[in-house]
C-alpha cells in the first residue's frame, strides 16, 4: 500500500470515529487505551474506555488539540500480564501517550516497558502502590492508591473515631501483605502499636484463632485488607464471637454490592475508603447524561476516571506539543497542572500519584453513603 493510500484509510477511519474533525488536514494525535476488554475485569476497563470516548467527542468537537484531531486506539490485554507487556512494546511506535485501564497485574507488567519507551501514561484502575513507587518516571495514576486509602482510613479511625486499640487482618496475597506493611508504617508514624496483626490465606475457612486474639486483646477497631470473600467471612465469624461491637475498617474493594449481598447484617456499619463519584456537580451531571444515553449503562467512577484521563492528556499535549519528542514535556505538563474534572480537583505529585480527596463511606441499612 502506498503512503497516500495509508493516509487515505487513516482519514477514513478518523472520519468515522470523529466526524467533526474530518476537515482537518493534519494527522491525528493518537492516544492508546490498553485494557481488559474481554476478560475478568472487562466491565471496569470498558467503562473507562467509554468515558474516554465521551471526552474524545467533546474535545474533537471543540477543535481537537490546536486544530489537530485526537484519535483513540484500544488494545485488549485480556487481563494477561504477558499480553500487556507485548502490547506495551509496540505502543512507543504507534501512539503518543497511553491510558492504562487494566487491572494491577498487567498494569505492573506494562509499567517498566512504557517507562523505558518514555511514554507518559495514566492508569485508571490499579490501586497497587507499585505503580507510582517503582521509579517509573512516566507513570501517573488516576485512581485511589492503597497507600492513600490506608493512610486515610487510619486517620479516620484514630482522629474521627478516636480509637486506639487497633488490629490489622490481611490476606496473604500481594494486595493484603502490601496493605499490612503500609498500615504498620502509618500506625508507627502515629505512635500507635496495633494489638493484633494476623494474616489469612484466601482459601482459609476458619478465622476463630485470629478473632479470639482480637477478643482477648480488647480490640476496638480492625482494619481488614484483602479480598471481599475473606472480609465477609471474618465479619460473620466476628459476630459468632460477639465481636460485633468492633468497628470494621476496609478499602474501596469493600464498597461493592457483592460485599453487601454476601455479608448481610454481619457487615452492617463497615467503614471504608470510597472512590466516590459526586453526581451533584454540573460536570458529572452532563457527563452522566451523555454517557448513559450513548452506552445504555450507568456512569461509575471508572468511566469518570477514563473521561478525566483523556482530558488531562489532551490538556498536557496542547501545552507541550504533539511530536514524539515532546513526550518529556507532556509529562511535565501533567505534573504541573491543576485539573478540575469529573472526579473533582486533581493534582499529580512528583511521583505521578494523584492527590485528591478520598471519601470515607459507611454501610448503613444495606447502603454505603459518604460519611466524610
Partner 1 sequence: MFLQVILSGIVVGGIYALVALGFVVVYRSVTMFNFAQTEYYTLGGMLFATFLARYQLPLVLAVLLTMVVAALVGILSERLAFRRLLLLGARPANLIIVSLALAVVLRSVILLIWGTDARQVPTLGNNPIEIAGLLVTPQQIFILGSTLLVVALLHLFMHRTRLGLALRATASNRTMAGLMGVPLTSMLALSFALSAGIGALGGILVAPILLAQYSMGQAILVKAFAAAILGGLSNVQGVIVGGLIIGLAENLAGAYLSSAYKDVVAFAVLLGVLALRPSGILGGRTEEKV
CB atoms within 10 A of CB 32: 24
Candidates 75, 136, 200, 348; binder of partner 1 (CB under 8 A) is: 200
Instruction: Report the residue number, 244 or 278, with the smaller CB distance to partner 1.
Output: 244
Determine which residue in the list 80, 133, 229, 278 makes contact with partner 1, applying CB under 8 A.
229
Looking up cell 488539540 gives 65
Write down the residue that cell numbers 502490547 correspond to. 87
Is 215 an interacting residue with respect to partner 1 (CB under 8 A)? yes
220 vs 353 by CB, closer to partner 1: 220
Q: Give Cα 47 to chain centroid, integer Å.
A: 12
Q: Interface with partner 1 includes 174 (CB under 8 A)? A: no
Could you give the CA distance from residue 88 to residue 34 in angstroms, rounded to a whole number? 9
Is the Cβ of residue 31 or residue 214 nearer to partner 1 in the bound state?
214
- Counting contacts by CB under 8 A, is residue 268 touching partner 1? no
**Which three cell numbers, joined as nine digits, stand for 78?**
485480556
Query: Judged by CB, which is closer to partner 1: 241, or 337?
Result: 241
In the structure grid, which three cell numbers stand for residue 337, read together? 497542572
Q: Which residue has the cell 445504555?
A: 296
Q: How far is the CB of 7 from partner 1 (least distance, A)?
A: 47
Site for partner 1 in 245-264 (CB under 8 A): 258, 261-264
Provide the 3-class DSSP secondary structure of residue 371. Answer: coil
Q: Which of 142, 266, 334, 343 binds partner 1 (CB under 8 A)?
A: 266
The residue count for binding partner 1 (CB under 8 A) is 30
- Which of 165, 213, 329, 335 binds partner 1 (CB under 8 A)? It is 213
Q: Coil, strand, or helix at residue 201?
A: coil
C-alpha cell at 98: 497511553
The number of beta carbons lying within 10 Å of the beta carbon of residue 137 is 12
Q: How far apart are CA 359 and CA 224, in angstroms?
A: 18
Q: Which residues bind partner 1 (CB under 8 A)?
A: 198-201, 203-206, 208-210, 212-213, 215-216, 229, 232-233, 236-237, 239-242, 258, 261-264, 266
Amino acid at each position: 500500500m502506498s503512503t497516500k493510500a495509508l493516509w487515505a484509510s487513516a482519514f477514513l477511519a478518523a472520519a468515522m470515529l470523529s466526524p467533526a474533525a474530518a476537515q482537518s488536514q493534519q494527522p491525528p494525535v493518537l492516544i492508546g487505551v490498553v485494557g481488559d476488554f474481554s476478560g475478568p475485569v472487562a466491565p471496569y476497563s470498558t467503562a473507562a474506555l467509554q468515558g474516554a470516548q465521551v471526552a474524545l467527542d467533546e474535545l474533537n468537537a471543540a477543535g481537537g488539540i490546536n486544530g489537530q484531531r485526537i484519535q483513540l486506539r484500544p488494545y485488549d490485554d485480556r487481563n494477561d500480564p504477558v499480553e500487556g507487556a507485548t502490547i506495551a512494546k509496540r505502543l512507543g511506535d504507534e501512539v503518543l501517550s497511553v491510558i492504562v485501564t487494566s487491572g494491577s497485574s498487567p498494569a505492573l507488567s506494562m509499567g517498566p516497558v512504557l517507562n523505558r519507551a518514555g511514554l507518559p501514561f495514566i492508569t485508571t484502575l490499579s490501586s497497587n502502590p507499585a505503580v507510582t513507587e517503582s521509579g517509573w518516571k512516566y507513570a501517573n495514576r488516576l485512581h485511589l492508591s492503597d497507600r492513600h486509602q490506608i493512610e486515610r482510613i487510619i486517620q479516620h479511625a484514630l482522629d474521627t473515631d478516636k480509637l486506639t486499640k487497633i488490629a490489622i487482618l490481611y490476606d496473604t496475597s500481594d494486595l493484603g501483605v502490601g496493605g499490612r506493611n503500609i498500615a504498620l508504617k502509618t500506625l508507627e508514624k502515629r505512635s500507635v502499636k496495633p494489638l493484633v496483626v494476623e494474616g489469612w490465606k484466601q482459601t482459609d475457612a476458619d478465622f476463630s484463632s485470629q478473632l479470639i486474639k482480637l477478643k482477648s486483646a480488647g480490640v476496638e477497631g480492625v482494619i481488614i485488607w484483602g479480598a471481599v470473600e475473606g472480609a465477609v467471612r471474618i465479619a460473620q465469624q466476628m459476630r459468632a464471637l460477639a465481636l460485633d461491637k468492633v468497628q470494621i475498617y476496609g478499602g474501596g474493594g469493600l464498597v461493592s454490592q457483592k460485599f453487601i449481598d454476601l455479608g448481610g447484617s454481619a457487615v452492617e456499619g463497615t467503614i471504608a475508603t470510597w472512590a466516590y463519584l459526586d453526581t451533584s456537580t454540573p460536570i458529572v451531571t452532563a457527563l452522566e447524561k451523555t454517557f448513559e444515553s450513548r452506552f445504555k449503562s450507568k456512569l461509575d467512577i471508572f468511566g469518570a476516571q477514563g473521561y478525566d484521563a483523556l482530558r488531562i492528556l489532551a490538556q498536557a499535549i496542547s501545552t507541550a506539543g504533539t511530536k514524539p519528542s515532546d513526550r518529556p514535556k507532556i509529562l511535565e505538563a501533567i505534573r504541573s497542572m491543576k485539573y478540575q474534572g469529573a472526579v473533582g480537583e486533581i493534582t499529580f505529585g512528583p511521583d505521578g500519584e494523584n492527590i485528591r480527596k478520598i471519601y470515607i463511606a459507611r454501610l448503613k441499612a444495606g447502603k454505603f453513603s459518604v460519611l466524610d
